[in-house]
Amino acid sequence: MISGYLRPDGRMGIRNHVLVLSSVGCANAVVRRIAQQVEGAVGVENTKGCGQVGKGIETMRRSLANLTQNPNVFGTLIVGLGCESTKPLELAERVSRMSSKPVCAITIQDCGGSLGAVEEGVRIACELVDQAALARRIPMPLDKLVLGTNCGGSDATSGLSANPTIGLVSDWVIDGGGTVLMGETTELIGAEHILARRAATKEVADDILRMVGRLEEDFLSNDIDVRGANPSPGNMRGGLSTLEEKSLGGISKGGSHPVSQVVRYGEVPSKRGFVLMDTPGYDIESVSGMSAGGAQVMLFSTGRGTPIGNPLMPVIKVTGNARTYRRMRDNIDFDASGVIAVRVTVGEQAASLRGLLVDVCNGEPTKAEALGFDDFAIYHGQEYWCSCEFAS
């Protein structure tokens, strides 16, 4: 049913990208120019990479390294400046120890400047693309699929239709042995006890309660009222009244299976099934963290409508708002308003969404892919969201 590209570590990708990765913000313009000149290459720009200390730089380095291991990536060219604290050659050595995927690294300073780095980078990226072209799609078992889920621009229809529909697709993936990621820790507040009751073990339940509890404690200790920003003004105009109401609708994206594990931002799960990742409620940062965690594809629920994409994985936009679908057909892939209009059952709607997911996995571009939207940002405040070390 699904086909993909087999990688050296046994995982499988549904896209076959050559990644041009910036190790520091100073290299972003060079990365952009290399990716623009090489068909088959995608550029990922990193806003930081230097002058960081503590958990922030740990999170960033983990995320950068794990991005190269996303199954949708064939090989990687790392581009750095040459004097940053996240040394590109050391990052490449770390990546080479993680798998036998091709990885190369250059620095702008060693290349004699930006123009020389672009020229050398284009040469290397073209070689990687030629190698990637030899890869062929083969049948892909569902247990190789890692599905990301996210909300953005939610309204009342999200919890009534779009998220429950995604939840049934999530159950289908997990029933087939696959993995589903759900994040946005802020938007678990008020529903964490429900997820803890679904935990596979007491240790996982403790992780869930600790993660959300420490987030709330951090807010309180800094005199921050999270409800001043969540629900957002757009959420409230769309009919969501409280953060708890938003959370109750949001967690339905994860379906009905037990929570098997809780992982840090940008961390690759070691267990299959339903996995929580500690991401912020910021859409681009949350989706980026899941791409570092190995998700090959994303189901993204949006009631109000949002255009964002991701450079490494297709992002399928699902709305339960018929008006949003009519107004933003350039951006929205799936109309999940049929349940609200009583035209279809949620099961029938989920079957249709499942069909679209299969088509996208087999190469059909999403609206964001067709438009070339490649939004990306690593969240650098991980220690703020959860400073705990997970037991699982």
pLDDT at residue 11 tops 80: yes
* pLDDT value, residue 389: 43
Q: How confident is the prediction for the chain on average, in pLDDT? A: 91
pLDDT at residue 192 tops 90: yes
pTM of the model: 0.92
Mean pLDDT of 257-277: 97
Mean pLDDT of 364-372: 98
pLDDT at residue 375 tops 70: yes
* pLDDT value, residue 274: 98
Q: Is 159 left (phi over 0), alpha (psi -120 to 50) or beta?
A: alpha
* pLDDT value, residue 386: 43
Mean pLDDT of 144-148: 98
Confirm if 285 and 279 have CB atoms less than 8 A apart: yes
φ/ψ of residue 278, rounded to 5? -80, 85
Lowest mean pLDDT among 40-54, 145-159, 241-255, 367-381: 241-255
Q: How many CB atoms lie within 10 A of CB 190?
A: 17
| Partner residues linked to 104 by β-bridges | 77
What percentage of the chain exceeds 70 in pLDDT? 91
pLDDT at residue 83 tops 80: yes
pLDDT at residue 387 tops 70: no
* pLDDT value, residue 246: 67
Residue, of 342 and 57, whose pLDDT is higher = 342
* pLDDT value, residue 230: 56
Q: 188 in helix, strand or coil?
A: helix
For 220-247, what is each residue's pLDDT tens digit? 777 766 655 555 666 656 565 666 666 7
Tokens coding 196: 């803890």
Lowest mean pLDDT among 1-10, 188-197, 311-320, 362-371: 188-197
State the chain's maximal CA–CA distance in angstroms: 64
Burial 348-363 (b: 16+ CB within 10 A, else e): ebbebbbebbeebbee
Q: Is the dihedral of CA 87, 24, 27, 367 positive or negative?
A: positive
Confirm if 263 and 386 have CB atoms less than 8 A apart: no
* pLDDT value, residue 390: 39
**Alpha-carbon distance 114 to 118, whole Å?**
6
Per DSSP, the residues of 61-129 read HHHHHHHHTSTTEEEEEEEE-SSSSS-HHHHHHHHHHH-SS-EEEEETTTTTSHHHHHHHHHHHHHHHH
pLDDT at residue 79 tops 50: yes
Confirm if 202 and 209 have CB atoms less than 8 A apart: no
* pLDDT value, residue 218: 79
